[in-house]
Amino acid sequence: MIHQLIFAHPRPGMTEQEFQRYWVEEHAVRYASKIPQIKRYAVDTRVARPGDTGDPLWSGAAEIWLENEEEQLASLQTPEFLEGARLDEPRWAAFWRSLVLDTDTEVVLQGQPDDELQPGIKLITLAKRREGLPLAEFRSHQRETQAKLTAAVPGVRRCLQSFTRDSWYAVSEPPFDAATHVWFDDLPALEAALLSPEQTRADEDRAEIVNPRYLHSLALRQHWIIGPGSR
């Protein structure tokens, strides 16, 4: 199953609130959800954290699940995409600031089953391995060490790891190698977790394998459009 992550920013002149409302209530419902190959679909809207200032890199992320590469290619050739979702995008998103990653996602800490609603807030952290570190070694460390440290942080309810698919490396070096999804009950629980000794140990370990220039975190609230169960 392909787990596609699409990070987006409001078009010029649109506030973050207007952007998020349009994405969840208009674009997702009227256009993207009509693409028949999409099995599950969620829109995650950015939640401002204490101390956030300035213009964020992104104001939300879409999560799209597709069965395989053939289904993904077919989805891009449908009228629902060509005459609907694609034409609608410039109305609300600064497409030149969008980031798309096709990933394979693995469960670190299950929490609630996949087909049930998850706790209220999740933190997605995008990471790029440090220069010179082989991709296989980075992935191995993420699976065997970083995942366990992250799952041990107090307040973590669910944890997934998404690795950029191998096919992307055949074309060029992707902007990020992995995305970690970590769920918490609410924003205070997330903030408390980030100040914990366990999180400090996870951060110190991650610093050994990640390029700090390409490490970005985003607090989000998940809105299911198709799901949480597959259609």
Position 112 scores a pLDDT of 87
> Mean pLDDT over all residues of the chain?
97
What local confidence, expressed as pLDDT, does residue 98 receive? 97
Q: What is the pLDDT of residue 90?
A: 96
Q: What would the two tokens of residue 1 be?
A: 């199953």
pLDDT digits (tens, 9 = 90+) for 121-180: 999 999 999 999 999 999 999 999 999 999 999 999 999 999 999 999 999 999 999 999
66-116 per-position pLDDT tens digit: 999 999 999 999 999 999 999 999 999 999 999 999 999 999 999 988 888
Of the given ranges (2-11, 34-43, 114-123, 207-216), which has the lowest mean pLDDT?
114-123
pTM above 0.85, yes or no: yes
Report the pLDDT averaged over residues 184-203. 97
Residue 119: per-residue pLDDT: 81
The yes-or-no verdict on residue 48 having pLDDT over 90 is yes
Structural domains present in the chain: 2-226 (3.30.70.100)
Q: Give ∠ CA 110-112-117 in degrees, rounded to 5.
A: 135
Q: Give the whole-number percent of the chain exceeding pLDDT 70.
A: 100
**Count of Cβ atoms closer than 10 Å to residue 85 Cβ:** 21
Please give the average per-residue pLDDT across 4-24, as a whole number.
Answer: 98
According to DSSP, residue 168 is labeled H
- The strand ranges marked E within the chain are 2-8, 40-46, 60-66, 99-109, 121-129, 158-164, 178-184, 210-226
Cis peptide before 228 (omega within 30 of 0): yes
